[in-house]
Amino acid sequence: MQPNLSVNIGKLKLKNPVMVASGTFGYAEEFRHFLDLKELGAIVTKTITLNPRQGNRPPRTCETPSGMLNAIGLENPGINAFLREKLPALKKYKVPVIVSIASEDDPDEFIAMARKLDSINAVSAIELNISCPNIKNHRLRDEKQPLISQDPLTTYRLLTRVRKVTKKTLITKLSPNVTSIGDIAQACERGGSDAVSLINTLLGMSINIESRRPKLASVCGGLSGPAIKPIAVRMVWEAYNKIRLPIIGMGGIMNSSDAVEFIIAGATAVSLGTVNFVDPAAAVSIIKGIKEYCRCHNTGDIKELRGSIRIES
């Protein structure tokens, strides 16, 4: 039996549920010597901002037990340079390209970028990264207006504005640094998002005890890797029970068993992050592992696994 691994995310049909997460796979070309990019379900680009960003000063990464901290600060060439220099190379792989976008300190920048991307055929979908924990927002952190990723009403208002300027599939990337991930997910659904992806990194810090200085120049950064997987799985399950939108699960996926766990919790697809630094070809082996799991469990369609967790009442 050849199991069907195809899934739908909004208007997108992916041949398998495995994609690579923003910020961990560059612009994909960097990984072309390690794996066949055509095998991926989708490619999510490094997050782009309206204007070029140099990012935070180094050191910007450090290892932690079962994970890593990063405070890259969304280093990128800006949307115009991305469209001119990075996007053309991705067309040849004929894999859905999801462009991740973020605002530096003004929600209007989301609108401007979404409008620009709407007319570009090579862009299959837009990911609204409203949840990056390691950039210093000002207007987005104003006391009169709560941080977008942590407030349902502000999230809803942003989604309704973006939805008006693009017909592309919209995926909203959610922060785990909230009281109720389900409330934010519902706000995305009401606002017009076609899917949600979760979770982004957790805010953390690490200290060099000899120098008594933070290991990151920016002091705090985003924690990722296996250490956060139980939190991510729990939040995917919570969101699945609150919304009908497709969920892209991420957070500490290192192998196919991890990926299947997210799908059983309610994810339609999964996105690989930190594992790409450990094994650049991990995505291919994870796709094969999911297929083998389906064969071993007589599952003809990956959709049968979604949300199939068994909880005794």
Bridge partners of 195, per DSSP, are 171
Does residue 248 contact residue 197 with C-beta atoms inside 8 Å? yes
CA quadruple 136, 140, 145, 146: dihedral, nearest 10: -70
- For residue 10 the two structure tokens come to 């909004």
Closest CA to 276 of 85, 28, 15: 28
d(CA 218, CA 220): 6
Closest CA to 232 of 247, 217, 214: 247
Does residue 213 contact residue 207 with C-beta atoms inside 8 Å? yes
In order of 140, 248, 250, the CA distances from 244 in angstroms are 28, 12, 18
Residue 67: how many other CB atoms lie within 10 Å: 20
| Whether residue 96 has a cis bond before it, omega within 30° of 0 | no
Catalytic annotation, pick one of 62, 132, 188, 220: 132
282's CB contacts (< 8 A; 6+ apart) are 254, 255, 272, 275, 276
* Measured CA angle at 6 (ends 4, 10), to 5 deg: 150
Closest CA to 123 of 44, 53, 22, 15: 44
Does residue 220 contact residue 134 with C-beta atoms inside 8 Å? yes
| 132: annotated active-site residue | yes
Asked whether the CA dihedral 208, 214, 215, 221 is positive or negative, the reply is positive
d(CA 175, CA 156): 15
Residue positions annotated with a catalytic role: 132
